[in-house]
Amino acid sequence: MGRLTGRLFVGFTTALICFIAYSSQIFVVWPWYGRVLSIELLTLLVPFNALVGMLLWNYYLCVVTDPGRVPPGWQPDVQDNDGYEVKKLTRGPRYCRTCDAFKPPRAHHCRQCKRCILRMDHHCPWVNNCVGHFNYGYFFRFLFYVNCACSYHLAIHVRRIYVATQTWENFESSEMIFIILNMATCIPVWLAVGGFSLYHFYLLSGNSTTIEGWEKDKVATLVRRGKIHEIKFPYNLGLWRNICSVLGDSPLWWCWPTVTPGTGLKYQLAEGDDPDAENWPPEDPTHVPMPEPDPNHKFSLPSSPWTYQNGSVNPYLQPSNARRRQTTRNGPYSALPPYHPDYREPEAVVPYDPASSSEDEYDNSRSGIRVRRGSEGYEIKSINREAIMQGFIEDRTREPGRYNYYDPEVSSESEAEEDPDDSVPLAAKLQS
């Protein structure tokens, strides 16, 4: 995101906060109380302005505070046994090729900020800054005060509408317009930020970031598929200690904008007996790492467009459309996977040779029609219907035990002589 675009996002967010906060007080609450300063008016507006002030203060700190950067020349202390040891996670120090420097634990490279961020959660366009170790507490408090201020704001307007309906009071035109505008802007912000806040409350309770939440989902998928055993998240210290690691040790200062404790270069690990607890994030055992790209490699087109074996066309090349795959029954490969109960090893198929034209090249397994695949498509041999019928009869009668054949005995000469009366019709014999 460019510098100008980021400033526009920040300006729009600030203008939206100020419109919702102050237009409601000027055009709705002030006319409601008769435009007179009173104790009831101060009792209503002082808490609301305190929430808005804390909201704007935490938003400003979230925008201007550096989320944390890796010190120049920093190297992991692999000999330190107290706390976190980089080598236990990746079997080697984490290194950022873009920054050309080592990465501390839980640090990630941000493409928008173009540097590594300590305990990176995400890059937020609404604050034009990364949310990292040193400003995550401000970001969390900002979400909290947005929810509180929007809830208070909606309660004021709902109360104003309720009182007007009970007393049959007529609204002023400007008051009605700003009630509608405030409700139309506050409700979407309250719902969107409220859902986002619930997700970050969940992350804070587990002492994880948004990126680590994605890693947890991947690990859960690997465990569900049986590729790895269940591994505990190494930074989950318990609910109380997780909150203290971000908002501070004293609950009295949790709502006050304070600096996040720690340096962001080392984090305390959860105590446990699992020897693989520190191996986070675990790798997929079936994943084959890609080789390192050769920086000196230059792409060049081959001298010939033919890429099959000795420079000829692949005889097994088949169309890839779904209908072709469904209708193809015979081929060099089986349509069933190897673990299927009906899987059979495919028979070896000899590639088509254009120079030969023997009878063996014709395949008669396709509905009795003998076909051959030539250089211009499928060639069908001429059909002789009498030969097909004769072959069909011979094939049927060739099966042993299917038919009983009648073989008449050779008749004698006396029996062979024809009776002259046999040629006379039966009706003529009866008339005579």
Q: Which residues are marked as active site? A: 124
What token pair was written down for 104? 């501390």
Identity of residue 246? V
Specify the 3-state DSSP secondary structure of 42.
helix
Kindly give the interhelix angle for 39-64 and 136-167, rounded to the nearest 10 degrees.
150
Nearest to 17 by CA among 46, 60, 71, 47: 60
The H-assigned helical ranges of 206-252 are 210-224, 239-247
- Residue 133 near residue 118, CB atoms below 8 Å: yes
Helix, strand, coil percent values for the chain (each to nearest 5): 45, 10, 50
Residue with structure tokens 């929810």? 147
What token pair was written down for 237? 């210290």
What token pair was written down for 411? 């008749």
Query: In whole angstroms, what is the distance from residue 36 CA to residue 285 CA?
Result: 72
Kindly give the interhelix angle for 173-205 and 239-247, rounded to the nearest 10 degrees.
120
Identity of residue 394? E
Specify the 3-state DSSP secondary structure of 124.
strand
Q: Output DSSP code: residue 335.
A: S
- Residue 138 near residue 244, CB atoms below 8 Å: no
- First-last CA distance in the chain: 120
Q: How far is CA 25 from CA 35, 41, 147, 234, 357, in A?
A: 11, 10, 18, 48, 95
Q: Output DSSP code: residue 414.
A: H
- Beta bridge partners, 369, equal 366
- Residue 373 near residue 379, CB atoms below 8 Å: yes
Specify the 3-state DSSP secondary structure of 245.
helix
Identity of residue 204? L
Strand order in the sheet with 369-374: 363-366, 369-374, 377-380
- Beta bridge partners, 117, equal 69, 108
